[in-house]
């Protein structure tokens, strides 16, 4: 797995984003039974100002958000709640897609939810990676599938269920990606 991290906000380097991202992405692939070796993901480590511009440009929502993702191909299942199509690696590295993550929003949400920053960021990297792999939470059964996977993956990383009621205001399908 090749992870290319572009640091636009130096606070992400101090937070050691790459150390958080690598196991989150690897465990996501492992949970889905996929070999991560032939894939590449780019992560833009930015702030609220930058992600607000991206959110306005790509989602017509001119506000900051925690994480955005752009899959390089549409792998979504046709039927609500079905498993997305598996990506087909090519002979050389296959760019799976891009993730942008905002330090400001992640820090604020973690503080408001009384969660460790690293746990919240790990959750959002898993969430973004699942989007790159065709998972979504727009339709109800898709949201249930995606949230269930996130819970299992985070559990294997030693982190609590982010959708549990006692985990704070980060409840199901925040719509922030």
What CATH number should be reported for the domain whose range is 2-167?
3.40.390.30
Nearest-angstrom CA–CA distance, 135 and 172 = 14
Q: How confident is the model at residue 164 (pLDDT cuts 50, 70, 90)?
A: confident
pLDDT in tens, 64-118: 999 999 999 999 999 999 999 988 876 567 899 999 999 999 999 999 999 999 9
* Higher per-residue confidence, 168 vs 106: 106
Question: What 8-state DSSP symbol labels residue 103?
Answer: H
Q: For residue 177, is pLDDT > 60?
A: no
For the chain, list the strands marked E by DSSP. 2-7, 39-46, 67-71, 94-102
Contact 105, 55 (CB under 8 A): no
The answer to whether 94 is annotated as binding is no
pTM: 0.91
CA torsion sign, 102 to 156 to 142 to 168?
A: negative
Nearest-angstrom CA–CA distance, 172 and 140 = 11
The answer to whether 95 is annotated as binding is no
Helix (H, G, I), strand (E, B) or coil at 6: strand
The answer to whether 131 is annotated as binding is yes
Per-domain boundaries in the chain: 2-167
pLDDT in tens, 10-48: 999 999 999 999 999 999 999 999 999 999 999 999 999
CA torsion sign, 66 to 159 to 122 to 88?
A: negative
Nearest to 149 by CA among 175, 123, 168: 123
Contact 153, 126 (CB under 8 A): yes
**How high is the pLDDT of residue 94?**
87
Q: Which residues contact 121 (CB under 8 A, 6 or more apart)?
A: 15, 17, 20, 101, 106, 110
């Amino acid at each position: 797995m090749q992870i290319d991290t572009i640091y636009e906000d130096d606070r992400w380097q101090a937070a050691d984003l790459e150390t958080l991202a690598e196991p989150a992405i690897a465990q996501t692939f492992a949970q889905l039974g996929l070999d991560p070796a032939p894939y590449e993901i780019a992560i833009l480590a930015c702030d609220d100002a930058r992600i607000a511009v991206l959110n306005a440009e790509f989602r017509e929502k001119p506000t900051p958000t925690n994480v955005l993702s752009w899959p390089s191909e549409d792998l979504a299942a046709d039927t609500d709640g079905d498993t997305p199509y598996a990506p087909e690696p090519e002979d050389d590295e296959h760019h799976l897609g891009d993730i942008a993550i905002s330090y400001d929003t992640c820090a604020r949400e973690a503080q408001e939810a009384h969660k460790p920053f690293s746990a919240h960021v790990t959750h959002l990297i898993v969430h973004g990676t699942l989007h790159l792999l065709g998972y979504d939470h727009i339709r109800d059964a898709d949201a249930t599938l995606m949230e269930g996977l996130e819970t299992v993956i985070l559990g294997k990383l030693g982190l609590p269920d982010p959708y549990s009621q006692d985990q704070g205001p980060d409840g199901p399908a925040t719509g922030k990606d």
